[in-house]
């Protein structure tokens, strides 16, 4: 999908700039033509010579009036996509407000191609309301965000703000071009024709050692039914499916198999920027073993203490980075204070629709062929559905999504 694509990689000053060597190598390996521009501060983290050697093109750091290849207008018109990575807090702020004091920003303001950006910064900078406002402004401009990841940061702290890994960025670009390909395709019909939907379903498994894992009771039935109902409505569906014996043969659904919560996070983050409708129906583990043994843990005389750490909150990540035109749906499986907890999730995770699933209702929840749910949307509408097949519930959820799309 990247063969012959012209990618303009714009690197700003961040420690994550060192990863651009790997990204450049991967893009070239995929057949892309890569040209690179850097801010002066970016050159303190990785040399232009390194990137020029890997990209097989001159790396430019200053505005030039003597060579049309380095002219910011020509660069902005040359590219099929402009990728700002890493995008520092400073560069994001300048992009959001139209500053133009270096080659990267001048080229950005001249770009006629789609623009994507991959932020990189420390957690407190990432969560600052000014940074979030600037990111929202770039989303309002129609640019695509590669969400930050959670991990070890340059400050030595552990948290959100880590730039997406090079492999994730490559997958994102592949999906970008797959969505925007001009190859003729058979026209689909239905109220969601031309839309791309992303659905997660099933459980995740979190390894303890090569033999054992922790998981949950989800079968994936509800999520698969939703994926098929979205496809029936005309959408092109990507189904991120955890380990389950169930599958779908629907022609309109492409399955992306995953195992762990980390796998599901990476797959959803890579796919979600291209999606118009996102339904997160998977039962993702909230915790995973902090340390995974490389050999089977032998049974001892006493008990065993298993230390757990939090997994990525996929729904919150997508909600924090949701574009205005996207519809995001989450599930709230509850055993007590059901309505209160569902509305809290709707509000705190920036959802358009939340599906309340109570385990207190007979015939609802895991492994049943039926379900009983209540829908809450961001306009204050509440819809209680009777106990019915999961396929019927899926159609009701899709009807609610269609209503939100046309609101």
Element (H, E) at 91: helix 89-97
> Under a CB-based contact definition with an 8 Å cutoff, are residues 119 and 148 in contact?
yes
What long-range pairs does 69-77 form, CB within 8 A, spacing at least 24? 72/103, 72/106, 72/107, 72/110, 73/110, 75/8, 75/35, 75/37, 75/107, 75/110, 75/111, 76/8, 76/107, 76/108, 76/109, 76/110, 76/111, 76/112, 76/113, 77/110, 77/111, 77/112, 77/113
Residue 172 is assigned to a ligand binding site: no
Q: Which residue has the tokens 């990785």?
A: 46
What 3-state DSSP class applies to 389? strand
CA separation for the pair 367, 221 (Å, rounded): 7
CA separation for the pair 293, 299 (Å, rounded): 13
Strands 373-377, 353-358: pairing kind: antiparallel
Residue 94 is assigned to a ligand binding site: no
Residue 345 is assigned to a ligand binding site: yes
Encoding tokens for residue 313? 């909150």
Catalytic one among 90, 216, 350, 399? 216
Residue 5 is assigned to a ligand binding site: no
Determine whether 337 is an active site residue: no
Residue 117 is assigned to a ligand binding site: no
Annotated binding site: 286, 296, 331, 345, 349
Q: Which residues are catalytic?
A: 216
Annotated binding site for CTP: 286, 296, 331, 345, 349
């Amino acid at each position: 999908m990247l063969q012959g694509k012209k990618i303009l990689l714009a690197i700003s000053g961040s420690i994550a700039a060192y990863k651009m060597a790997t990204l450049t190598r991967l893009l070239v390996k995929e057949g892309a033509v890569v040209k690179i521009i850097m801010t002066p501060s970016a050159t303190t983290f990785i040399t232009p010579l390194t990137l020029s050697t890997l990209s097989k093109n001159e790396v430019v750091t200053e505005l030039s009036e003597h060579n049309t290849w380095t002219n910011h207008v020509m660069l902005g018109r040359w590219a099929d996509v402009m990728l700002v990575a890493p995008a520092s807090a400073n560069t994001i702020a300048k992009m959001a407000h139209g500053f133009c004091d270096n080659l990267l920003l001048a080229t950005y303001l001249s770009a006629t191609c789609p623009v994507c950006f991959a932020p990189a910064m420390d957690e407190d900078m990432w969560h600052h309301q000014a940074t979030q406002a600037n990111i929202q402004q770039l989303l309002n401009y129609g640019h695509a965000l590669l969400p930050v990841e959670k991990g070890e940061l340059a400050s030595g702290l552990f948290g959100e703000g880590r730039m997406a890994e090079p492999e994730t960025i490559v997958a994102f670009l592949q999906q970008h071009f797959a969505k925007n390909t001009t190859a003729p395709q058979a026209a689909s019909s239905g109220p969601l024709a031309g839309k791309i939907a992303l659905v997660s379903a099933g459980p995740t498994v979190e390894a303890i050692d090569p033999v054992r894992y922790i998981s949950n009771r989800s079968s994936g039935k509800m999520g698969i039914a939703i994926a098929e109902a979205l496809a029936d409505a005309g959408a092109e569906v990507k189904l991120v499916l955890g380990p389950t014996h169930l599958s779908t043969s629907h022609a309109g659904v492409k399955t992306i198999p995953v195992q762990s919560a980390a796998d599901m996070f990476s797959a959803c983050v890579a796919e979600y920027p291209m999606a118009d409708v996102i339904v997160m129906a998977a039962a993702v583990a909230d915790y995973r073993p902090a340390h995974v043994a490389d050999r089977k843990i032998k049974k001892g005389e006493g008990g065993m203490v298993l230390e757990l750490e939090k997994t990525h909150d996929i729904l919150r990540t997508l909600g924090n980075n949701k574009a205005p035109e996207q519809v995001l749906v989450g599930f709230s499986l509850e055993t007590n204070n059901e309505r209160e907890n569902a509305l809290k999730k709707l509000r705190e995770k920036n959802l358009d629709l939340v599906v309340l699933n109570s385990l207190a209702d007979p015939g609802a929840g895991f492994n049943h062929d039926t379900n009983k749910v209540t829908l809450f949307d961001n306009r204050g509408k509440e819809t209680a559905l009777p106990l019915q097949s999961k396929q019927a519930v899926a159609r009701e959820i899709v009807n609610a999504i269609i209503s939100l799309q046309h609101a």
